[in-house]
Amino acid sequence: MTKPLVAVLSGAGISTDSGIPDYRGPNGLWRRDPEAEKLVTYGYYMGDPEIRRRSWQLRRSNRTLRAEPNAAHLAVAELERSGVPVRVLTQNVDGLHQRAGMPERKVLELHGSARSVVCTRCEARGPMADALARVEAGESDPPCLACGGILKSATVMFGESLDPLVLGEALAISKACSVFVAVGSSLRVQPAAGLAGVAADHGARLVIVNAEPTPYDDLADEVVREPIGTALPALLRTLAPVGDG
């Protein structure tokens, strides 16, 4: 008998306990410093060398690459290890689900990864750590070593579209799952937010775990306002097979 599929859509709120700021929350970076949004906007980034230099300095000071998974990430990986089919659809670029133990192939990074860089000309990819080492060594705007093109974080910047293959797979999972847990997401950034509605429309039990109200609360079977670090592990334990610790 096929076990029901659990889809977990995670947003910035799942990683705040790991020390990564929520960009859109009440105290988020975009609210505190609207100018900072230019650093991750494709048009500004490609057209202004000074924006790129500032972006590389922001990446140097970014805590994302030094962050460790928290109890919520670990709970998702633990559910997967218990034998429940789990797929993670994450709006985050921090790679913490994988670091917590989720297999790479079971995590769809809707907005890309901050742990890699990509050339905007030849699409060559490499580790972010290597590019940051070049910045530390004095290159303020390190070009692609393969073709000399402009390097950027392998994340989806404002003004860029999501990878259609990744989005297509996320849609298929949302349609097929029995339980859809949206955790730490404002559910305001499309098209990722719309996956919650797709899941509900296809009969999934929709659970929203988020500190603030979302546009999809009325569709949800359950809305949890408790802190994610304790609420998500408790919720996921109810989905684990009986007898699993």
Residues marked as catalytic: 111
Cα–Cα distances in angstroms (integers) from residue 167 to residues 171, 172, 191, 193, 198, in the given order: 6, 9, 8, 11, 12
Contact 188, 182 (CB under 8 A): no
Report CA Rg, the chain: 18
Distance from first CA to last CA of the chain, Å, rounded? 22
In whole angstroms, give the CA distance from residue 106 to residue 109: 10
Question: How far is it, in rounded angstroms, from Cα 146 to Cα 234?
Answer: 48
Q: Which residues pair with 154 in a beta bridge?
A: 113
Could you give the CA distance from residue 5 to residue 97 in angstroms, rounded to a whole number?
A: 18
